[in-house]
Amino acid sequence: MIYRWLANLTVLVHGAFVAFVIVGGFLAIRWRRMIWVHVPAAIWGVSIEFGGWICPLTPLENALRRPAGGAGYSDGFVEHYLLHALYPAGLTSRVRWTLGGFALAVNVVAYGLFFRHRRSS
């Protein structure tokens, strides 16, 4: 029971991290110190997508699911939870680069607004 709960908590943390990578730059406009947490997170998240790597939270979740009676999964978090719903055929290199490019573009816009807002203050 505890393993299933911890695995589900890991999924929630993972999902929150993905959301933070995408929108955290906009939070930095309001809370300037957020930039020190968000920039490394965004670099990590975009690098994971561009590099085709698996985030360490994925094997952690799998390790927690096995003792809970679950099988875990062999692909990454994005592929397992998000892409199966959006792209049932699987994750291609092109889709991975598109997702990474989207995250990068959103952050470029957010930090453009951040620095513009900072100059005007």
pLDDT at 20: 94
* AA letter at 5: W
CB neighbour burial string for 88-113, b if at least 16 within 10 angstroms, e if fewer: eeebeeebbeebbeebbebbeebbee
| Domain ranges for the chain | 2-120
Rounded Cα gap, residues 38 and 51, in angstroms: 19
Do residues 99 and 49 touch, judged by C-beta distance below 8 A?
Answer: yes
The pLDDT of residue 94 is: 82
* Terminal-to-terminal C-alpha distance of the chain: 51
What is the per-residue pLDDT for 86?
A: 43
For residue range 14-49, list pLDDT tens digits in order.
Answer: 888 988 999 999 998 889 899 999 999 999 999 988
Residue 46 · residue 2 · CB < 8 Å: no
pTM for the structure as a whole: 0.71
- Residue ranges of the chain with pLDDT lower than 50? 85-88
Identify the pLDDT of residue 119.
83
Angle at 93 (CA atoms; ends 59, 110), nearest 5 degrees: 80
Query: Residue 88's pLDDT is what?
Result: 47
